[in-house]
Chain A
């Protein structure tokens, strides 16, 4: 068949009369005119006929994995324009692991010249052609051709009739079927709306895309007939650029050895993740996240955020602060409703503003390329240190040991009465701040999701989170009935307030634990000392009005703060702390294990992540789980995200997370991980390892 084509091409070239020819090392090029003259306002078809040596090939408009399409550069007289060349239907030419599209014999590129009415009598044309011929190796071919067309009535050149007829025959036919192409990250699907009866004897089909990014050229194309029509499925390289167009040629190969080619421009539907990746993004996190969840309606995400905010009110570190606010309300029952409402909103505003500050910081850091997620605050020992200090001060203030005029202790009637909008606002700020250690672990995954969304969604979600947190007080400030249900103010408030100091101290203890994990015992000693000095400073301050006294107190306080800020030197936490038998996570180590065909279980955790710790104690650090891992020969890897770690952030992002926990199981010989649920149990682990 190819030989016949070869002969046919040779025969045509022999009988037809070229306007000009050029020979290069491995091929020859001839330029033919369908007519030798062109009428003003008319057009003429030119044929650029390329004949490679036997065993060599040239390329289609999309050359596939390698190679290059011919480049035709025209120098044309005034009033003449050249179209882009039309290519004949390509062949699939395999070369080792690569696939190229081209012609193993002669091919003709058809170019249409259009003349306007202003053309001169003689029209000199210059063609500068560059085309690539390849066998095992590639050799570029060059030609410079000068030809002349005459102005006049177009008259067909009879010698060239068969050549142009053959060239048109070789062009793909316009498709009379509609089609659509869905481009996903790792595969594309072409649907051609035709019935099986349209092409009864078809043996196989192949789609030749005209643009990069539709499919992986060497991969097998599978096809099937469905309700909708002919569907083709192509594997795709996930790193390929997003295609500019879905246009291409559909080749149908029939039982009797014949084939037909149809040119089509299917409706292009590019998955959001492909499009966004093609655009590029400042932070890798944004590009990595699978967009499967992008379809989640905003209202739904917002609802979750709102519920989450409500739940936060019950957290041990938030509840005491909120109670104080409640006391302030109870004591201020005599105030006007309007005033209470305004205060409720000021409080809401404080919460909202603090959330926005935290989110903005996070977004800014991420835009700067820092690979972080929610909970990032707790990855900074300085922040943890300062939070510990704050918790202790709030606890002492609640316990009545010291008095800080931040409005925290404003449960007493006289003070609350004085407390204005500003006080309410800052109480909102304080509530958010003390809530952070609790939001981080509990809300990390959900907030992590939110952060992967566009700005507007992030804004909406955090606004609703803030509203959720503020809701109890908004209700309290609006509804006289609810306010009336609150117990009468009295001495019990003082007792309860003192009692609430203890959950705050517990929170401080927990923060101290994180700090210790981050900086080591020397750092912890410094922090504890600094906290004691700070408390001393506050106490000293309150002992009198003396200038010297206050100066000493101030110096002590500042020194303590400086000590906290200066102390932290994060240890190489990942290396420092790894459970016996668990391998510290690294991409390289994981790849090595996977290459060796070993099953691997990876868990990502952080000391400040309560969910992680609960899962680890309930499901992982159990005798039977460890036995299970041992029996199955599973290597357990631990990715510790207590401190910032870009490698781990990347893995989390790859699986669509901005925070821990994340549990992955790689079955033996599989590069694809099974993602285990966030609530891990022994049963889930066993089922997963058993391949169920």
Chain B
């Protein structure tokens, strides 16, 4: 043979490693800070209407629903006046969801609420939200790219974002539009619970713009 078998083996192993490195070439992908279905949802910490610090990581092991809301937005009104949003909140929270309503309206803008007002509104509307997160500087809203009210997100037990987008397929303010609407959040929730693929994972949100303040 003449060749030291050990060095030959090392050579082969190295050859294989090099082959593998070739495979790896171009495998660099940016760490996504943005919400992308199937990836880790952006981490956040905010303050809820009770003055409690709320972090997404507090809910590891549970599924979390984020709802961007603005009580005066006609699209939000459609879902609350009809009881559609409360029904969804109730169904999902009773099914184990942690429901976080987020208000990203800046002070002086439509939908901005003080902690007391936020609690009042929630009580009056009969909201089943576990926490109402007040985000007047829009930090959480911007992290999630929340553009409309309502804008919905479902985050799985391991922190993976499963769904983002509209609540349903009817971009209308009419209550009648709820008849026969496909509720994307319910659909995604059911799929996530069943371990099925979510489809769609991302839709175009509809509604009023989130009333962000100046950055």
Task: Report A's interface with B, CB cutoff 8 A.
Answer: 63, 65-69, 71, 95-98, 100, 130, 132, 134, 136-140, 142, 186, 212-213, 237-241, 277-282, 284, 287-288, 290, 292-293, 296, 301, 304, 307-308, 311, 314, 368-369, 371, 442, 445-446, 449, 587-588, 591, 646-647, 650, 654-657, 666, 671-675, 677-679
Contacts and interface: CB of A to CB of B under 8 A. Distances in A.
A688 B164 CA distance: 36
B19 A647 contact: no
B146 to A, nearest CB: 10
Contacts of A675: 27-28
B133 interface: no
Given A68-B172, A281-B197, A292-B27, A241 B19 contact: no
Contacts of B43: 587-588, 591
Interface stretch (B91-99, B121-129, B155-163): B155-163
Interface stretch (B46-54, B79-87, B200-208): B200-208
A69 B35 CA distance: 25
A304 B20 CA distance: 8
A168 B82 CA distance: 40
22 contacts: A66-B208, A68-B172, A68-B207, A96-B211, A97-B138, A132-B173, A138-B208, A212-B204, A237-B145, A238-B34, A241-B165, A241-B202, A277-B36, A280-B37, A280-B199, A292-B27, A293-B23, A293-B27, A314-B9, A442-B13, A650-B40, A673-B28
Nearest to B148: A66
A294 to B, nearest CB: 11
Nearest to A611: B17
Contact of A136 (B110, B164, B172, B215): B110
Given A287-B38, A671-B31, A69 B171 contact: yes
A633 B31 CA distance: 21
A278 B165 CA distance: 12
B84 to A, nearest CB: 16
Given A96-B209, A292-B26, A678 B203 contact: no
Contacts of A308: 16
Instruction: Tell me the dominant secondary structure on chain B's binding face.
Output: loop
Contacts of B160: 284, 650
B196 interface: yes
A654 B196 contact: no
Contact of A679 (B12, B21, B55, B173): B21
Given A278-B200, A284-B38, A371-B158, A134 B208 contact: yes
Contacts of A212: 203-204
B62 interface: no
Contacts, number: 205
Given A284-B156, A678-B21, 18 more contacts: A71-B171, A96-B214, A132-B173, A134-B209, A138-B74, A140-B74, A237-B34, A237-B145, A238-B34, A239-B202, A277-B202, A278-B200, A282-B197, A284-B39, A307-B15, A442-B13, A588-B57, A647-B158
Contact of A239 (B30, B164, B211): B164
B24 A678 contact: yes
Contacts of B66: none
B174 to A, nearest CB: 6
Interface in B54-110: 55, 57, 72-75, 109-110
A278 B23 contact: no
B32 interface: yes
A535 B9 CA distance: 34
Contacts of B35: 239
Given A296-B23, A655-B27, A140 B202 contact: no
A296 to B, nearest CB: 7
B181 interface: no
Given A134-B209, A138-B208, A68 B20 contact: no
Nearest to A211: B204
Contacts of A137: 72-73, 110, 208, 211
Nearest to A666: B31
Contacts of A307: 15-16, 19
Contacts of A290: 27, 29
A65 B201 contact: no
A65 B209 CA distance: 7
Nearest to B194: A282
A663 to B, nearest CB: 11
A650 B158 CA distance: 9
Given A69-B171, A138-B73, A587-B159, A677 B27 contact: no
B23 A280 contact: no
A304 B209 contact: no
Centre residue among B16, B161, B209 by max chain A CB count within 10 A: B209
Contacts of B9: 314
Given A65-B148, A307-B19, A311-B12, A97 B37 contact: no
A280 B36 contact: no
B207 to A, nearest CB: 6
Contact of A445 (B20, B147, B174, B207): B20
Contact of A277 (B12, B27, B201): B201
Contacts of A674: 28
A288 B19 contact: no
B195 A368 contact: yes
B134 interface: no
B192 to A, nearest CB: 9
A655 B29 contact: yes
Contact of B211 (A69, A136, A314): A136
Contacts of A237: 34, 145
Given A137-B72, A139-B74, A293-B23, A241 B204 contact: yes
A351 B28 CA distance: 34
Contacts of B28: 655, 673-675
Nearest to A240: B202
A136 B108 CA distance: 11
B186 interface: no
Interface pairs A-B: 7 shortest CB-CB = A287-B38, A66-B209, A212-B204, A140-B173, A239-B36, A280-B197, A65-B147
A225 B12 CA distance: 49
Contact of A678 (B20, B30, B74, B207): B20
Contact of A241 (B13, B191, B203): B203
B70 to A, nearest CB: 9
Given A98-B147, A241-B202, A650-B160, A446 B209 contact: no
Contacts of A186: 30
A242 B145 CA distance: 17
A55 to B, nearest CB: 15
Contacts of B24: 445, 656, 677-678
Given A97-B142, A446-B20, A671-B30, A68 B206 contact: yes
A95 B110 CA distance: 14
A137 B106 CA distance: 13
B13 to A, nearest CB: 7
Given A98-B209, A240-B202, A311-B12, A142 B19 contact: no
Contacts of A655: 27-29
A278 B201 contact: yes
A289 B57 CA distance: 24
Given A368-B195, A647-B159, A678 B17 contact: yes
B9 to A, nearest CB: 6
A132 B74 CA distance: 10
Contacts of A591: 43
